Amino acid sequence: MSLHEHCRMMVGYNAWANARLYAACAKVPDADYKSDQGAFFRSLHGALNHILLTDRIWGARFNGRTAPSWTLDTILFDDFGALRVAREVEDGKLVDFVARLDEEQLAADFRWTRKADGMQVAQPLWAALAHLFNHQTHHRGQAHDVLSRLGHEAPSLDLVIYQRESGIGFRA
């Protein structure tokens, strides 16, 4: 599997996992969805907003724009429905971005400025994308835990299920 194929698999997986997680969260009453569960971003609502927010920060960086100056706990959308639509749009943008890349672009240096301290960073673009995919997985795991603690059904988000369903990276 080439680096590009791997990144395409991961961006597809992230969109698939986000869709499954949002479908589960759509069944949660608003009081539970927004309740403080002691998670890193307090609630399902906080976690989902954080994932979208950081994806938008990275999207700006990937497209040569200055990253927005939000704090990492900024709530972009108070309404779940609007947040879900924004998530779907953002996933589509990321899928399209990765599809347009080639091996040379993925291996090339990608330069960005770290929000926390203004440090200039250079790394291969594939490594920055790997961070984005891993970051989403990390916080989806937190949201998955909150769903379980609240007694709601938490979907299976395992990569191997996506691979089997999509046929990418899987041999029957």
Binding residues: 50, 135, 139
Is the CA virtual torsion 49, 55, 61, 64 positive or negative?
negative
- List phi, psi (to 5°) of 44: -55, -45
Tell me how far apart the alpha carbons of residues 131 and 128 are, in angstroms, rounded to a whole number: 5
- Report CA 66 to chain centroid distance, whole Å: 19
DSSP code for 79: S
Measured CA to CA, the distance from residue 128 to residue 134 in angstroms comes to 10
Annotated binding-site residues for a divalent metal cation read 50, 135, 139
